[in-house]
């Protein structure tokens, strides 16, 4: 490759670097996407989706839980991460906690009372259990979310 009069890059060299670099990173991006797509079925826990999990997800969405909580790192950071709440607290604690809201404890943020019936609570717990069984490669990084 020849250099210009000032010893710097020529327009042709710059163009070749741009096109070569663009092609390299486009290929790298495609390879990463392909690899990720291959991993999703192994990690998603999709085989464990039941009608109760689907109903629990609907409750999660219609009550806008993600407006305050995070789930596997996605959502608002106002209230605790719930991706591993089933492992941390268990089903009975989750149901009792939701029923007891709002606690009116001084200095604490208050969760609204959603007046969920027992079936809705069971479904929501099943959704949280399913979420906790997704292979997140140890996310969140600590047990308390």
Region 108-124: mean pLDDT is 95
Region 91-103: mean pLDDT is 95
**Residue 136 pLDDT > 80:** yes
What pLDDT, on a 0 to 100 scale, did the predictor assign at position 105?
87
Tell me which residue has tokens 């991993």: 39
Measured in whole angstroms, how far is the alpha carbon of residue 119 from the centre of its chain?
25
CA 102 to each of CA 70, 86, 87, 112: distance values in angstroms, whole numbers, following the listed order:
19, 20, 23, 6
CA distance 29 to 35: 10
Find all residues with CB under 8 Å of 83, minimum gap 6, and list them: 70, 71, 72, 73, 131, 132, 134, 136, 139, 140, 145
Query: Is it true that domain 47-132 has CATH number 1.10.760.10?
Result: yes
pLDDT tens digits, one per residue of 40-96: 988 989 999 999 999 999 999 999 999 999 999 899 989 999 999 999 999 999 999
Structure tokens at 87: 């492992």
CA distance 98 to 122: 11
Sign of the C-alpha dihedral computed for residues 43, 47, 50 and 55 taken in this order: positive
What pLDDT, on a 0 to 100 scale, did the predictor assign at position 145?
64
Find all residues with CB under 8 Å of 55, minimum gap 6, and list them: 120, 123, 126, 127
Higher per-residue pLDDT: 9 or 49:
49
CA distance 136 to 113: 30
Domain boundaries, the chain: 1-43, 47-132
What pLDDT, on a 0 to 100 scale, did the predictor assign at position 108?
84
């Amino acid at each position: 490759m020849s250099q210009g009069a000032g010893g710097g890059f020529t327009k042709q060299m710059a163009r070749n670097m741009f096109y070569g670099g663009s092609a390299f990173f486009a290929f790298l991006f495609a390879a990463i996407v392909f690899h990720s797509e291959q991993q999703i079925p192994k990690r998603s826990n999709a085989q464990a989706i039941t009608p109760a999990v689907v109903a629990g997800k609907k409750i999660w969405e219609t009550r806008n839980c993600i407006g305050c909580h995070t789930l596997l790192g996605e959502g608002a950071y106002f209230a605790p991460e719930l991706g591993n709440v089933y492992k941390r607290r268990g089903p009975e604690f989750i149901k009792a906690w939701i029923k007891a809201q709002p606690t009116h404890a001084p200095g604490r943020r208050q969760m609204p009372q959603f007046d969920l019936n027992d079936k809705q609570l069971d479904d929501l717990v099943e959704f949280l259990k399913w979420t906790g069984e997704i292979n997140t490669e140890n996310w969140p990084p600590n047990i308390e979310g």
